[in-house]
Structure 1
Amino acid sequence: MAADTSTLATALDQLVDLMGGVDDENAVRPTPCAGWTVGDLVDHVVAGVGNFARGVRGQEVDWSAPTPRVEGDRAQAMRAASDDLLAAWADAPEDSDAPPPEWQCAELAVHTWDLARGLGRDTAGLEPAVAEKGAAFMEQGLTDDNRGEAFGPARPAPEGADAYTRLAAFAGREV
């Protein structure tokens, strides 16, 4: 059976929509990612989605390579990267050893929260299944011992927090 990418497609669509609100003026705003502006985060996410597609195709990915700047329409760049990732999954063999779509949902859901915060937008209206799937994946493997530099210690989420905020807190974001 092929990988279920329906939740991943929703995650990608939501990021395209958010990136539609990024212009040169708000691209310089800070995000919850230390030292990253909204523009830096967009660049990271678009490049990451491209790397995910290469990984699904079995190509070598250099995650340490410098992140290229997105030139022009950010939402359009995200849409192109998203379509490429979904096409890679559609063509992937059933026995693919690529990281699963759930891993990609986790990464994208955390950065959706980051981007929404950087833009001053709320995440309550986003599809909770994306963050829930990402959280289920992260909770299986992310421990205090393997958080590295990307994730701080898990933090408590506020009472009544939406799925994205709970995931961000688990990922170590100050919520």
Structure 2
Amino acid sequence: MDTDIQPIVVLSRALDQAGDALASIRSDDWDKPTPCGDWSVRDLAAHLSATPGHFLQMARGEEVDWSAGPEGPEHDWVPRFRSDADDLIHHWHAQPADQAGQADWQSAELGVHTWDLVTALGRPLPLDDEVAERGLAFLQQGLTADNRGDAFGAPVEVAPDAGAYDRLAAFAGRDPRA
């Protein structure tokens, strides 16, 4: 496979698994707590559902309100997510090959929040280790104690042989053992 586009391929898989996690939400899940601060499944799902659209806004040079959720009722969130995800992948394929590596930060965002959602739902979904590995590598390059902000807690220590998603979640300040 052409390694120049591998970040885009991985981003596509990150979007697919996030969409699958969103589609697995049942009506009795909405008020469950998540590992993502004080967010409920509804709050997390709103954020995750809006993420591909926010990435597209950024790509167009628009200002993004990350606190804004998706428009419309909850049953419209997954189709909108998938549509925006397709548009995002098309956007990346239109970029010069030397820019593709920048897609890794989007995989990191999606990977962490997909793990948050799957964990909150308590139903296992298959997650792609390469999404977590690329996302973790990206975060480790630039996320420091000084720039973690409100979104990321201090890293949590995990066993050296922990799985890719446990390492990603732990680096993002989530405790995979909780």
The equivalent of 1:103 in structure 2 is 105
Distance 1:139 1:77 in 2: 31
Structure 1 gap segments, 5+ residues each: none
Q: 3-state DSSP class of the match of 1:34?
A: coil
1:10-159 matched pairs, under 5 angstroms? 10-56=13-59, 58-64=60-66, 66-68=68-70, 71=73, 72-93=75-96, 100-122=102-124, 125-158=126-159
Structure 2 gap segments, 5+ residues each: none
TM-score (norm 2): 0.85
Percent identity over the alignment is 42
| More helix as a share of residues | 2
Alignment RMSD (CA, Å): 2.3
Name the CA shift for 1:158/1:121 in 2 (closer, same or farther; >3 Å). Answer: farther
- Figure out how many residues of one structure are paired with residues of the other and give that number: 172
Distance 1:161 1:2 in 2: 28
The Cα of 1:68 is off from its aligned counterpart by 3.5
Counterpart residue type for residue 18 of structure 1? A
